[in-house]
Homo-oligomer: A and B are copies of this chain.
Amino acid sequence: MHAVPPLEQEHDIAGATLAAAPAQATHEAPVRDLRRVPIHPDYWYPLAWSHEVKRGKTLGVTFAGDPIVLARTESGKVFALEDRCAHRQVPLHQGVVDGESIRCGYHGWTYDCSGKCIDVPYLGRERLPNGVRSYPCHEVEGLIFVFPGDAALAAQRPLPDFRSVSDPKYKTRRFGRPVKCHYSFMHENLMDMNHQFLHRRQMGRMRARSVGRRRGEGWVEVDYTFARMEGQQPFGEAIVFGQSRKAGGHNDKDVMTIRTEYPYQTLQIRNVEQTLVMDLWIVYVPLDREQRTNRTFGLLSIRKPGIPAVMNLAWPLLVWFTERIFKEDREIVEAEQRAHDSQGADWNHEVFPVINDLRALLRECGAPDRVVGAGTGDTAVIRFWDSRHGDPLAKT
């Protein structure tokens, strides 16, 4: 019955082919509601595209509700601070970049790139208050990555590796936008290729076959091949695969591998010669404290064909094609989030073992629950990670 949210189905069925749901609901203890699992902050997350932070300018962003200001100094360096002045808590992104520091727009309190307060215009230098939290920050391939968790762990945690993006044999499209759902819906959407029905207008009718899945420490992945059920091969697909396939025939030469390596996701297509023809890297960064919205950052690299001009001609169509697909995905995952909001729990009945693997992974790798106090519109939040610069009132 729907009146009580069903227990999560974590059973798995052996074999590489698709399997049905178990016949009976299990009577185990309820598991965590996946849609309330906070993403783990001890990873590098992109919070903006490089071009969004101009020289001498600021940009206010958020990670899971924490306000963060990104600032690019006169010398071109980007740094990331807590986006509120230690004085009256107004956003620093409303302030002014001043050389290699940032000055609050209200009373002019000034912070360097480590968050240390270096000037209060009406106080002596010897009595400056401390400052604000700073975040480790790196620019990689046009993305500004910030480490929102325990800064002591930042150095040992690798940044993502963008091999195809930097390889001249590939052309890369950057895309993304805010999506109003928990990041877990995004992972499940991409990994479950049985949702081709959603894209029937773009893709025709295709059938995915799961031909293998693997699981390791911090990752799961699955391989698919595809059969076209009806309709013409769409243009975008032809660009990617570089070949035409007939309706009704099963294409078991091209293999698509989708992998969640926490917290990132990749989708790679290799052709029969094992050449990587498409390489997608994507991540879903929670924006609000409840993590019911995310900003998606995607890098889609396509291997250039023999005649490079073909790619340049086809590119606008590829852009259109991917935008349409992304829009359909966005609409359906937002419908999933709305259903969760109104049901107050995760009522999904997943029948596909790959997705149940993925769900277990996202639960295991996520952060512990945040303690959020209920109140009349106000929320008292106890942060479980906080490594800020120091007591803002302690003397330096």
A interface residue numbers (CB < 8 A to B):
1-3, 6, 9, 18, 20-25, 65, 67, 82, 84, 86-91, 94, 103, 105-108, 120-124, 127-129, 133, 192, 194-195, 197-198, 207-208, 290, 332, 335-336, 339-345, 347-352, 372-383, 386, 388, 391-395
Q: Are A378 and B344 in contact (CB under 8 A)?
A: yes
Q: Tell me, in angstroms, the Cα distance from A376 to B350 when the chains sit together.
A: 26
Q: Tell me, in angstroms, the Cα distance from A375 to B381 when the chains sit together.
A: 15
**Cβ of A22: which chain B residues have Cβ within 8 Å of it?**
393
Q: Are B127 and A20 in contact (CB under 8 A)?
A: yes
The listed residue with most B CB atoms (<10 A of its CB), out of A25, A89, A122, A344, is A122
Q: Are A378 and B341 in contact (CB under 8 A)?
A: yes
Q: Are B106 and A197 in contact (CB under 8 A)?
A: yes
Also in contact, A88 and B348, with CB within 8 A (given A378-B341, A386-B3) = yes
Chain A interface, >50% SS class: loop
Q: Tell me, in angstroms, the Cα distance from A3 to B86 when the chains sit together.
A: 13
Q: Are A373 and B344 in contact (CB under 8 A)?
A: yes
Q: Tell me, in angstroms, the Cα distance from A347 to B383 when the chains sit together.
A: 15
- Partner of A393 from the list B21, B339, B395 (CB cut-off 8 Å) is B21
Q: Are A2 and B133 in contact (CB under 8 A)?
A: yes
Q: Tell me, in angstroms, the Cα distance from A127 to B13 when the chains sit together.
A: 13
Report 29 cross-chain contacts, Cβ distance below 8 Å, ordered by A residue. Answer: A1-B388, A2-B82, A2-B388, A2-B392, A3-B383, A3-B386, A6-B393, A21-B127, A22-B393, A23-B393, A65-B342, A67-B342, A84-B339, A86-B349, A90-B339, A94-B335, A107-B194, A107-B195, A108-B197, A120-B351, A122-B194, A123-B351, A342-B379, A344-B380, A344-B381, A345-B380, A349-B393, A372-B376, A374-B376
